[in-house]
C-alpha cells in the first residue's frame, strides 16, 4: 500500500484566487432528487403536485431511465409505489429504498456536507484534472445526487451531468468525493475525446474499438481517481472497493484478463455482443470484480506512472488504439508480451484505417 495520499496534505486555492485564474471545470451539486426522496419517504401522502415535481427532476429522470436494467418497470407509478412501501417500513424494497430509510440520517448529513463544500470539491477536481486539459478548455459539470438504484455513480454519455447514488457511501465523504472525480473524468472524456468516425470500420472492428475504448475510459478514470492512494481506515467506502478489486492485482489473473480481452475483442466477442452470455460482462461486471477496470488502471500506471513515457493529455484526444499500441510498446521494452501478435496486428490495422477516415 502506498503511503496515505498526499491529497490530505494538499491545500486548495481559495475560491477567489481560483476564480481569478479561471478554473477549467465549474462544478455544481444538485441535491434535488436526494432531498425530495428523503422528504417523500417521510411524507408519502404528499399532494400529487409534490410527486409531479419530484418526477420532473433531472435525478429522478435519470433513475427512471435506468430502472429497466435493475429489473423494474421504469414508470413513475412504480417508483411511487416503491417509495411508499419503503416509507411504511417494509424491508427489502427494490432499488435499495429500505436501506435509504434505514440510513436516512447519515445520508442527509452527507448530502448537506457535499452541498456546503461544493467549492472545495470543485477545487479538488480541478487540481487533479487540470494537467490533462488544455489552457483554453472549459467544462461545466453538474453532479446530481440521487437516492435509490444499483449504481454508485454513472454518466449518461454526456459531458454535462453525472449521477451519484448517495446511499452507497455510508457517510464516507472521501469516498464520494473520489467518485465525483472519477465521473468528472468521464465528463472530460465525453467532451474532448474523438468520436469513432461513421462508416470507417467494419462491424467487427467497431466492436474491438468499443472494447478498447471502454478499457481506456475506465482504466484512466481509475488512474486519475486512484482508490489505492487512500488509507482504508480513513475512507470506509474506498476500503470496500479496495477489498473488492484486490484479486485483480494477482499476476496470474492479469494474464487471464489479457486472454479475456482478446476473446472479447475478437470475432467471437463480436458475435456474442449484447447477449447475456457475452464475455464482455465478465470484464466489466461487478459480480466478476470488474477486471477490465483494474487492467486499464494497470496499463495507465505503466504508461503515465514514474516509469511511463506517455502523456494522458495526448491519449485523451486520440483514439484508444493509441493507448493500447503505446502500452504494447512499453511492455515489450520491458520484456513482456501482453497480447498475441494477431491481436496487436488487429489493433494496428484499425489504427491505420482510422488515420484514413
Ligand atoms: Zn467509470
**What pLDDT score was predicted for residue 274?**
83
Percent with pLDDT over 90 in the chain: 87
Q: How many other C-beta atoms are found inside a 10 Å radius of the C-beta of residue 46?
A: 14
Pairing type for strands 153-154 and 139-146 reads unpaired
Given a cut of 50, whether residue 263 has pLDDT beyond it is: yes
Q: What is the arithmetic mean of pLDDT over 78-98?
A: 97
pLDDT tens string 42-71: 999 999 999 999 999 999 999 999 999 999
**Distance from residue 225's CA to the centre of ligand 1 (Å):** 10
pLDDT band at 37 (very low <50, low <70, confident <90, very high): very high
Q: Which of helix, strand or coil describes residue 215?
A: helix
Q: Please measure the distance between the N-terminal and C-terminal CA atoms of the chain and give it in whole angstroms.
A: 45
Angstrom distance (rounded) from CA 225 to CA 245: 14
Question: Global pTM?
Answer: 0.91
Given a cut of 90, whether residue 332 has pLDDT beyond it is: yes
**What pLDDT score was predicted for residue 77?**
97
**What pLDDT score was predicted for residue 21?**
55
H or E, element range at 295:
helix 291-304
Provide the b/e sequence for 264-303 (b: ≥16 CB within 10 Å). bbbeebbebbeeeebebebbbeeeebbbbbbbbbbbbbbb
**What pLDDT score was predicted for residue 20?**
39
**Distance from residue 165's CA to the centre of ligand 1 (Å):** 13
Q: Which residue has the higher pLDDT, 356 or 307?
A: 356
**Distance from residue 153's CA to the centre of ligand 1 (Å):** 8
**Distance from residue 177's CA to the centre of ligand 1 (Å):** 14
In 3D space, the residue among 241, 233, 186 whose CA is nearest the CA of residue 8 turns out to be 233
**Distance from residue 339's CA to the centre of ligand 1 (Å):** 24
**Distance from residue 351's CA to the centre of ligand 1 (Å):** 24
**Distance from residue 91's CA to the centre of ligand 1 (Å):** 30
**Distance from residue 207's CA to the centre of ligand 1 (Å):** 19
**What pLDDT score was predicted for residue 64?**
97
Helix (H), strand (E), coil (C) string for 64-115: HHHHHHHCCCCCHHHHHHHHHHHHCCCCCCHHHHHHHHHCHHHHHHHHHHHH
**What pLDDT score was predicted for residue 157?**
78
**Distance from residue 117's CA to the centre of ligand 1 (Å):** 23
pLDDT tens string 191-245: 999 999 999 999 999 999 999 999 999 999 999 999 999 999 999 999 999 999 9
Ligand 1 (single-atom ion) residues, CB below 5 Å: 218, 221
**Distance from residue 217's CA to the centre of ligand 1 (Å):** 7
The DSSP symbol for 233 reads: T
Angstrom distance (rounded) from CA 340 to CA 333: 16
Given a cut of 50, whether residue 255 has pLDDT beyond it is: yes
**Distance from residue 116's CA to the centre of ligand 1 (Å):** 25
**Distance from residue 179's CA to the centre of ligand 1 (Å):** 9
**What pLDDT score was predicted for residue 8?**
36
Q: What is the arithmetic mean of pLDDT over 107-126?
A: 98
pLDDT band at 11 (very low <50, low <70, confident <90, very high): very low
Q: Which of helix, strand or coil describes residue 40?
A: helix
**Distance from residue 213's CA to the centre of ligand 1 (Å):** 12
Amino acid at each position: 500500500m502506498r503511503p496515505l495520499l498526499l491529497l490530505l496534505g494538499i491545500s486548495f486555492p481559495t475560491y477567489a484566487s481560483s476564480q481569478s485564474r479561471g478554473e477549467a471545470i465549474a462544478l455544481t451539486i444538485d441535491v434535488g432528487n436526494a432531498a425530495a426522496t428523503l422528504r417523500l419517504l417521510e411524507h408519502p401522502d404528499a399532494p400529487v403536485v409534490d410527486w409531479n415535481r419530484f418526477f420532473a427532476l433531472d435525478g429522478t429522470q435519470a433513475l427512471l431511465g435506468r430502472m429497466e436494467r435493475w429489473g423494474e418497470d421504469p414508470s413513475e407509478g412504480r417508483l411511487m409505489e416503491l417509495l411508499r412501501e419503503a416509507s411504511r417500513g417494509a424491508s427489502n424494497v427494490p432499488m435499495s429504498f429500505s436501506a435509504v430509510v434505514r440510513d436516512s440520517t447519515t445520508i442527509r448529513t452527507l448530502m448537506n456536507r457535499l452541498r456546503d463544500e461544493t467549492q472545495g470539491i470543485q477545487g479538488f477536481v480541478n487540481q487533479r484534472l487540470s494537467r490533462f486539459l488544455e489552457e483554453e478548455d472549459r467544462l461545466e459539470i453538474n453532479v446530481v445526487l440521487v437516492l435509490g438504484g444499483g449504481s454508485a455513480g454513472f454518466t449518461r454519455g454526456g459531458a454535462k451531468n453525472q449521477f451519484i447514488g448517495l446511499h452507497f457511501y455510508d457517510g464516507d465523504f472521501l469516498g464520494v468525493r473520489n467518485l465525483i472525480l472519477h465521473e468528472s473524468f468521464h465528463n472530460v472524456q465525453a467532451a474532448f475525446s474523438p468520436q469513432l468516425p461513421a462508416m470507417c470500420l467494419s462491424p467487427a472492428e467497431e466492436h474491438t474499438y468499443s472494447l478498447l475504448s471502454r478499457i481506456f475510459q475506465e482504466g484512466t478514470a481509475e488512474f486519475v481517481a486512484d482508490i489505492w492512494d487512500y488509507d482504508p481506515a480513513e475512507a470506509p467506502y474506498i476500503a470496500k472497493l479496495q477489498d473488492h478489486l484486490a484479486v485483480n492485482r494477482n499476476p496470474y489473473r492479469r494474464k487471464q484478463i489479457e486472454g479475456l480481452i482478446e476473446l472479447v475483442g475478437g470475432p467471437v466477442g463480436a458475435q456474442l455482443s449484447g447477449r447475456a452470455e457475452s464475455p464482455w460482462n465478465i470484464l466489466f461486471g461487478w459480480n466478476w470484480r470488474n477486471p477490465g477496470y483494474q487492467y486499464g488502471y494497470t496499463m495507465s500506471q505503466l504508461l503515465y506512472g514514474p516509469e511511463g513515457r506517455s502523456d494522458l493529455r495526448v491519449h485523451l484526444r486520440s483514439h484508444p488504439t493509441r493507448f493500447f499500441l503505446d502500452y504494447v510498446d512499453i511492455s515489450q521494452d520491458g520484456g513482456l508480451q501482453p497480447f498475441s501478435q494477431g491481436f496487436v496486428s488487429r489493433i494496428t490495422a484499425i489504427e491505420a484505417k482510422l488515420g484514413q477516415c
